[in-house]
Amino acid sequence: MYYLPPTSYVGRARSGALGDATIDDATDRGATRIQASAFRGCCSIHAPRYRQANLTAFTHPSEDGARAIALAGDDVVAAFRHYLEHDARGRPFIIAGHSQGSVLAMRVLTDVVVREGLQERLIAAYLIGSSLTEATLDAIPGLAACETATQTGCIIGWNARSADYSHGLDLVEFPPPPPGAAPPTRLCVNPLTWRHDDQPGDPALHRGAVFFAGDAPPSPLPRFTGARCRQGHLIVELASPVPRDFMSKLLDHALGAGNYHPIEFGLFFVDMRDNAAERVDAYLAQSPPD
């Protein structure tokens, strides 16, 4: 599987540099170790380095920001082509990402998977915490939102918020909509029901949140939340506060109350782990390997 991590770069330049040990370490500890491990049970994991755009490119669109996103996209497309040639070797694949990683994963899907007719090899794409909208997805031939837990060749995404979330720092659709346009509806596939609708998922369906704190192995927390898609957001009601260190609390404050963007991968860690395995099994049942 091909995994793209979220933003770890916090410098002032528009793009982080390849080979920067600080960025690499933050990405490995804060993202890849946590998120990509959800797919360890089903797949070999390939997580490329890329020149991450500064987060402001996604929250405050500008020409410089657009160039930074394009540069990051060039990196991940090139890395995906290398993955297809040297690692995938004709096998099916999962694509997954979070935040900036999910935005860039859409470019991989459109520029390589769709353009080169590779949809039949796509098991699923987990694009968590992205700005992907329903309208954008509808306009891409050969791709659609997942409607069941075992459908293949489809897209999964959600942006987790509290029921009383009103506003905060958020990723803007990329490319941004024209001035005065109505707010677009983002893609929401419920990770408890794996349906693309507004039917609620009861906490009894929740297989487990996993929150990494320190070096101790985390314990899954089942029944930690219910979930329901509402106007493009995945509305969650947490059973208890989530453990957060000081820097994470600063990020939460900047994003706004009820914005669960930093933990929306961990909230449904076990659900994604199990679902990825189920989709792989469903794909192989339909198209057994030679």
Q: Give the model confidence (pLDDT) of 129-171 as tens digits.
A: 998 999 999 999 899 999 999 999 999 999 999 999 877 777 7
Residue percentage of the chain with pLDDT more than 70? 96
Which two tokens mark 183? 């707010």
3-state secondary structure of 64: helix
pTM listed for this prediction: 0.94
Of residues 120 and 167, the one with the higher pLDDT is 120
d(CA 194, CA 178): 32
Residue 100 pLDDT more than 70?
A: yes
- Say if residues 228 and 198 touch (Cβ distance below 8 Å): yes
* pLDDT of amino acid 266: 93
Regarding beta strands 233-238 and 225-230, do their DSSP bridges make them parallel or antiparallel, or are they unpaired? antiparallel
pLDDT band at 246, cuts 50/70/90? low
* pLDDT of amino acid 283: 96
Residue 228 pLDDT more than 70?
A: yes
Q: At residue 56, what is the residue type?
A: T
* pLDDT of amino acid 215: 62
Of residues 266 and 180, the one with the higher pLDDT is 266
* pLDDT of amino acid 218: 80
How does the average pLDDT of the chain come out, rounded? 91
Q: Which of 206, 170, 213 shows the shortest CA–CA distance to 34?
A: 213
pLDDT band at 253, cuts 50/70/90? confident
Sign of CA dihedral 261, 262, 266, 267: negative
When mean pLDDT is compared across 44-48, 56-60, 93-97, 221-225, the lowest value belongs to 56-60
Instruction: Give bridge partners of residue 221 from the DSSP assignment.
Output: 209
The arithmetic mean of pLDDT across residues 260-274, rounded, is 95
d(CA 8, CA 26): 6
Quickly list H helices, 109-181: 134-138
Of residues 247 and 127, the one with the higher pLDDT is 127
* pLDDT of amino acid 5: 96
pLDDT band at 51, cuts 50/70/90? very high
Residue 254 pLDDT more than 90?
A: no
Write the burial class of residue 71 (CB in 10 Å: 0-12 exposed, 13-18 middle, 19+ buried). Answer: middle
* pLDDT of amino acid 255: 80
Which two tokens mark 158? 């959600």
Of residues 225 and 257, the one with the higher pLDDT is 225
* pLDDT of amino acid 168: 73
The arithmetic mean of pLDDT across residues 3-28, rounded, is 94
pLDDT band at 251, cuts 50/70/90? confident
d(CA 112, CA 222): 37
